Amino acid sequence: MVVNRGEIAIRVFRAATELGLRTVAIYAEEDRYSRHRFKADEAYLLRKEKGPVGAYLDIEGIVRLAKDKGVSLIHPGYGFLSENAAFARACAEAGLNFIGPSPEILSSMGDKVAARALAKKINIPTLPGTDEPVSDPKEAMTIAREIGFPLIIKAAHGGGGRGMRVVEKEGDLAAKLAEAQSEAEKAFGNPEVFLERFVGRAKHIEVQVLGDRHGHVIHLHERDCSVQRRHQKVIEIAPSVDLDEAIRTELCAASVRIGREIGYNNAGTVEFLYDLDRNEWYFIEMNPRIQVEHTVTEVITGIDLVRSQILIAQGHQLHGSEIAIPAQEAIPRNGFAVQCRITTEDPERNFSPDYGKILNYRSAAGFGIRLDAGAGDAGAVITPYYDSMLVKLTASGPTFDIALQRTHRALREFRIRGVKTNIPFLENVVQHPTFRGGMATTRLIDTEPSLFKFKPRR
């Protein structure tokens, strides 16, 4: 059973079907026409009274349904309950095999302050910041003056860019602190935040790790996720284009060290900031789940991460005949892959989400193109209840230039009518010389107004 919806549910169904497993979908009433419902062998309606989002967060109802239907394996996808330790614990208590790390690891990695402390303990660099959550404005000001401005306020329990505020000067701190706490409370049910030094010219690099239940932990190289808007990833690249090989080696080694330190099993991602001005890197957090951008890693390594997740949960070893991942030094890194997140957002209206029926849908195809879609059909209805991602485009090639050529060609092939999309914006980014040169930082979108000048499409 996949406790999720959209493209990630379909992605898991495909891997499970290849392994000879029957698949079970769940869906909210508002999702009754969603494609994922029809891609599984069985599909069950969740409790209507819980609402469109609450239905996917109903731990008691979902666990009871899984037990009633004879489910043995639970995959949480990303978002919703994917990092919820209480859900993983409820699955274990019900005899359901949760495809992911233990509840204890979910708890420790879900607390970003605790994760920072773990990194420090094993001598992995972290940004100057608070060792405990901060709530009092006076205390925050004292600490902020020690860290220095600019700084960033981050939610201690959650991600996705929510509960984050950059503070440029002292006078803004109290208001930004209140904003971040309020947003964190609404998004994650916990208002705790912490402070870190803000890095103005940085690359956001993350390393994919896999661990099994026999103590083996490996990395599958790194991804560059620097192209972000409001701290949310827009385009991802694997591997990074211009990262010094010594830095690359250090980041991958540090990621494996963290995984081994906590006895990590299943798929996870260790995230870092690389300060270009100081030539220093810092641990940010570990995401204990599959990520949206896992496709670029699959393309360059040839390793099916979701299939590996399922087999790890069934007790197989990474290097055994079932998963068949080679020794660390033999894991491939072939060419480059670029993922663009195509969303139903209007870039000409500050990326406001657009809703309605897709009247016409023509997707890209061809050599080196992979599409992962949750609602990519004419007639599909985009509702206001869920994330706006429509389809993930992953393009690959033997060089970064060729991967970008295919990315741009594929973006131009899309024809979507009925709802607005961010495709014109993505086209501008992948053609921008800074991005094409591999020099994009986390501030690219904020500092390049040319990205918002759109040419009419025929």
Q: What H or E segment, with its residue span, contains residue 409?
A: helix 400-413
For 82-136, give the DSSP string.
TT-HHHHHHHHHTT-EESSS-HHHHHHHHSHHHHHHHHHHTT--B-SB-SS-B--
Residue with tokens 């002292």, as numbered in its chain: 170
The one-letter code for the residue type at 50 is K
Q: How far, in Å, CA of 182 to CA of 300, rounded?
A: 40
What's the pLDDT at 412? 98
What's the pLDDT at 458? 65
Among candidate residues 195, 232, 276, the one with its CA nearest the CA of residue 387 = 232
**Catalytic residue check, 169:** no
3-state helix, strand, coil in the chain (%, to 5): 35, 25, 40
Q: How far, in Å, CA of 14 to CA of 17, rounded?
A: 5
203, 233, 392, 420: the catalytic one is 233
Contact indicator for 339, 234 with CB cutoff of 8 Å = no
Pairing mode of beta strands 389-397, 336-343: antiparallel
Contact indicator for 45, 29 with CB cutoff of 8 Å = yes
Fold for the domain defined by 128-197: Dna Ligase; domain 1 (3.30.1490)
Fold for the domain defined by 202-452: D-amino Acid Aminotransferase; Chain A, domain 1 (3.30.470)
Among candidate residues 435, 445, 421, the one with its CA nearest the CA of residue 373 = 421
Kindly report the number of other CB atoms within 10 A of residue 313's CB atom.
Answer: 20
What's the pLDDT at 160? 73
Q: What H or E segment, with its residue span, contains residue 62?
A: helix 59-68
- At 400, list the tokens: 């970064």
- Give the CATH architecture of domain 6-99: 3-Layer(aba) Sandwich (3.40)
Q: What H or E segment, with its residue span, contains residue 202?
A: strand 202-211
**What are the pLDDT digits (tens) for 162-191?**
899 999 999 999 999 999 999 998 888 889
Domain segments of the chain as ranges: 6-99, 128-197, 202-452
Q: Each residue's pLDDT tens digit in the chain (458 positions)?
A: 999 999 999 999 999 999 999 999 999 999 999 999 999 999 999 999 999 999 999 999 999 999 999 999 999 999 999 999 999 999 999 999 999 999 999 999 999 999 999 999 999 999 999 989 998 999 999 999 999 999 999 999 877 778 999 999 999 999 999 999 999 988 888 899 999 999 999 999 999 999 999 999 999 999 999 999 988 999 999 999 999 999 999 999 999 999 999 999 999 999 999 999 999 999 999 999 999 999 999 999 999 999 999 999 999 999 999 999 999 999 999 999 999 999 999 999 999 999 999 999 999 999 999 999 999 899 999 999 999 999 999 999 999 999 999 999 999 999 999 999 999 999 999 999 999 999 999 999 999 999 999 987 76
DSSP 159: -
Contact indicator for 15, 83 with CB cutoff of 8 Å = no
CA dihedral sign of residues 387, 356, 373, 390 = negative
Kindly report the number of other CB atoms within 10 A of residue 330's CB atom.
Answer: 7
- At 222, list the tokens: 């790194």
Among candidate residues 280, 273, 266, 245, the one with its CA nearest the CA of residue 315 = 266
- At 301, list the tokens: 């390594």
Among candidate residues 97, 161, 150, 157, the one with its CA nearest the CA of residue 128 = 150
The one-letter code for the residue type at 342 is I
The one-letter code for the residue type at 144 is A
Kindly report the number of other CB atoms within 10 A of residue 365's CB atom.
Answer: 10
- At 364, list the tokens: 């890209």
For 337-375, give the DSSP string.
EEEEEEESEEGGGTTEE--EE--EEE---STTEEEEESS
Q: How far, in Å, CA of 225 to CA of 240, rounded?
A: 9
Residue with tokens 């079970």, as numbered in its chain: 24
Q: How far, in Å, CA of 411 to CA of 185, rounded?
A: 37
- The pTM assigned to this predicted structure is 0.95
Q: How far, in Å, CA of 1 to CA of 73, rounded?
A: 6
Among candidate residues 248, 220, 252, 258, the one with its CA nearest the CA of residue 123 = 258
